[in-house]
Structure formats: structure tokens, C-alpha cells
Amino acid sequence: MTIDNAPTDEVLAELTSDTVIVTRAQPGVAQVTINRPERRNALNLEVKELIARAVETLGADPLVRAIVITGANGAFVAGTDVAEMQSLTPVEHTLKVTDRMFTVLRACPKPLIAAVEGYALGGGCELALCCDIIVASKRAIFGQPEILLGVIPGAGGTQRLLRAVGHYQAMRLLLTGKHVFAEEAHAMGLVSEIAPEGKAVEQAAEMAALIARMPPLAVAAIKEVVRAGADVPLDTALLLERKAFQVLFDSQDQKEGMRAFLEKRTPEYLGR
């Protein structure tokens, strides 16, 4: 099947800055790269707002089918910028909406794939946890070390880590600030795939391109049902799944997919 090479270069240029670079990784796949090498890509308020704006725009673009998020220069995100954060008051956290980036990521309708090289600590680990898939190089390092600074994770680290790895592993990491390498994180269920060192972005982009070739309505339905069903009783979640399954039978993509299967040809999905 063919996929338009979207988004346009003009859109990418408008979203790109010195610290957050937005590019086309594959047809139908956008890549958001955090670029603060002097701080190992630590998240300050400016960077978080730029990421939020980019993901909001790309998520609303019908020609973008998957988004890869990564960091430049051998690091994902070493954490939140402590130098900026230490002086913030509770009121300033509220007024500045310091969790807006994480809220945007969690609400993004398009599949998000984190490509992790090096450190993914604190806010960086929370950023990865907001994504649907995490591809990590074998030397990637994950952790929630906030307790070592006298605070706790504040953007989903306690809750999303709990849901990803279970009570006992989550408590071990949260209460000790311990770091884990990719292989241990993979065994715990925190990482989807391990890539050779230096190849996480390439492997994530290939996965995103595969997803981009899938029927967009079915992709969106899977993400919506998995997200909505995670915290409701099983019977309710199964009902949500069944209703979404039935609705897709009214789509052109369903007819095209099944017709192509029977005709032994590659389907042409249009997202309708």
C-alpha cells in the first residue's frame, strides 16, 4: 500500500526548534527529537511545551499515523531540569501547568513509540511510560530517582509504573531510586523490544512504519479500547471491545482488508 509522505515540510519546520526537532522518519511517521545535549535532554518548561505542541499538531494530522519520540546525542531524557524545578512553588506548578506535556502525550490518538538510548530517568521515564511502545537500546537505563531529591514522581511515575511492572517491582524502584538496564526493564515488562546499542531509533521507526501501514481506524480503535479498558471491570472492558469491533464492520477499511485477504493481495487502507 502507499502512504502519503506527511506531514508536509512546512508543518515540520513550524514545529521544529533548536531544542525539539520534528522530522519525517518514514512515510506516515513523524519523529520528535529532544535536543539538549548539554543537559542530557533534561526537560525544562520550554521543552515540555514544545513537545506538547508538536504532539498535539501531529496527533491531529490525518496523514500522520505514528509518532516516534527520542532524544539526541545518546540520551533519551535524563530527567526533569532540577535547576529550574527546585524553586517552583505549588501555585506555580498549577499556574504553569507543568504536567501539560504528559497530559497531551496520554491523550494522543496516534500510536507513540519511545526510542530510548541512554538515560530515561525521572521525567524521562515518565515520558516513555506515556508512550504505547518502548524500544530501548541494550544500554538504556530506566528509573524513578525522585525519592533521592526529597519528592516523588509527579507525572504518572507511581501509577503508570505500577500498571506496567506490578506492585513489587514498582515499589522497589520507587522507594530506592534504583536504576535498571534495558534487559532487566524488558524482563519486568517495562520495555517492549531491545535494540542493539545505537539502533533504538532505527528499530522504533521501522515498527512505526509497520503500524502506519495498518488500517488507521482499527489502530485508533485498539488504542482507545486498551486505554479505556485498563481501569474498568473486565466485563465492561469486553463490552467496549465488542462495540468497537462491531463498529469497524461499517468501515471501508474492513471491506478492503477482508476482500484483499480473500483475493491474496496487499490491501489499500484509506482510513474510512
Q: Give me the chain's average pLDDT, please.
A: 92
- Residue-level pLDDT at 262: 96
Distance CA 125, CA 118 (A): 11
Q: For 140-195, how does the pLDDT look when each residue is reduced to its tens digit (9 = 90+)?
A: 999 999 999 999 999 999 999 999 999 999 999 999 999 999 999 999 999 999 99
Q: For 28-59, how does the pLDDT look when each residue is reduced to its tens digit (9 = 90+)?
A: 999 999 999 999 999 999 999 999 999 999 99
| Mean pLDDT for the stretch of residues 204-210 | 97
Q: Which residues of 220-243 are buried (b: 16+ CB within 10 A; e: fewer)?
A: bbbbebeeebeeeeeeebeebbee
Distance CA 88, CA 78 (A): 19
Cell for 162? 505500577
For the chain, what percent of residues have pLDDT higher than 90?
82
The answer to whether 146 is a known catalytic residue is yes
Catalytic residue among 49, 84, 117, 126: 126
Tell me the one-letter amino acid at 64: V
57 Cβ contact list (under 8 Å, min separation 6) = 11, 15
* Residue 95 pLDDT class (50, 70, 90 cuts): low
The answer to whether 202 is a known catalytic residue is no
Domains and CATH numbers, the chain: 9-212 (3.90.226.10), 216-263 (1.10.12.10)
- Residue-level pLDDT at 93: 74
CB-based contact 249:39 (threshold 8 Å): no
Residue 28 Cα distances to 64, 93, 171, 205, 216, angstroms: 5, 35, 38, 10, 11
Neighbours of 272 (CB within 10 A): 10
Catalytic residue among 14, 49, 146, 193: 146
Q: For 224-242, how does the pLDDT look when each residue is reduced to its tens digit (9 = 90+)?
A: 999 999 999 999 999 999 9
